[in-house]
Amino acid sequence: MPELPENEAQRRLVDRECLHRTIEAVELGDDVTYIALPGDNERARLVGRQFTETRRHGKNIFLGSKTGPWMAVHLGMTGRLIPFDAPEDPPTKTKLLVRFEGDRRLAFRCPRKLGKVRIIDDPDTFIAEQKLGPDALTITKRQFADAVGSSRSAIKAALLDQGKLAGVGNLWSDEVLFQTGLAPTDTAANLDEACLETLLKRLKAILEAVIDTDATYSKLRDDWLIRHRKKGATCRRCGGKIDSAKVGGRTAYFCTSHQS
């Protein structure tokens, strides 16, 4: 599932390609059963308006203006926002199409239908209603210690809890634990203040590094877990072996040697 870096890369793409263009229509694509998309009246709220800014919080992307309304996009597992120009056809599996004046278009492509698009009044209210925690890039040390550091859950599960920390999923929770040498099963509340501070600092550095590559994993360092994240692989940090286990209902990948 796309996590914070992938969503930030998508936000930046839309920010570059789709702002300050008057919306002529917002249309449904093909085969839109069993996917959360806005109805006719909601889509009509955007017609005649412009997206003048974008925001992102955790795994949610927002397109709108100061006076609203906003389009809130959750990519799900396979969703993508794809700007393109007519007369080119929309990408296959397009579920929602924003038509701007002129040739520019914005497609929401979502093959597995696990993404969501909503029309909302403002992002701050939406974030509060969804009970999302602080964004992983902007969370403070105190917020992180209070939310994640107080959890009696395994640290892997605490990092995945979007109510505590918005934007981190399976990939980057594994990566930060790998790079800081913590076992995914370590109890979050047992980590001291210095350990939590190091964990947060490294997490932000990882997310920013992935964003800098536009979430292109092949551009990341070869000794990162993401480059050899499979059971039985050799750890390129210590020579140990990569193993996997269920932690908090999710599969964690970790080195059996240096993560202890």
Residue-wise pLDDT tens digits, 105-159: 999 999 999 999 999 999 999 999 999 999 999 999 999 999 999 999 999 999 9
Chain segment 206-254, per-residue pLDDT in tens: 999 999 999 999 999 999 999 999 999 999 999 999 999 999 999 999 9
Domain ranges of the chain: 4-129, 141-255
Res. 255: pLDDT tops 90: yes
R_g of the chain, CA atoms, integer Å: 20
- Residue 202 predicted with pLDDT over 80: yes
* pLDDT-based confidence at residue 1 (cuts at 50, 70, 90): confident
Nearest to 174 by CA among 195, 161, 160: 160
Q: Residues 23-39: pLDDT tens digits?
A: 999 999 999 999 999 99
106, two tokens: 């914005």
> Which architecture does CATH list for 4-129?
Alpha-Beta Barrel (3.20)
**CB atoms inside a 10 Å sphere around CB 87:** 5
Count how many Cα atoms sit within 13 Å of the Cα of residue 80 in the half-sphere of its side chain: 13
| Average pLDDT of the chain to the nearest whole number | 97
Looking at the domain that runs over 141-255, which CATH code has it been given?
1.10.8.50
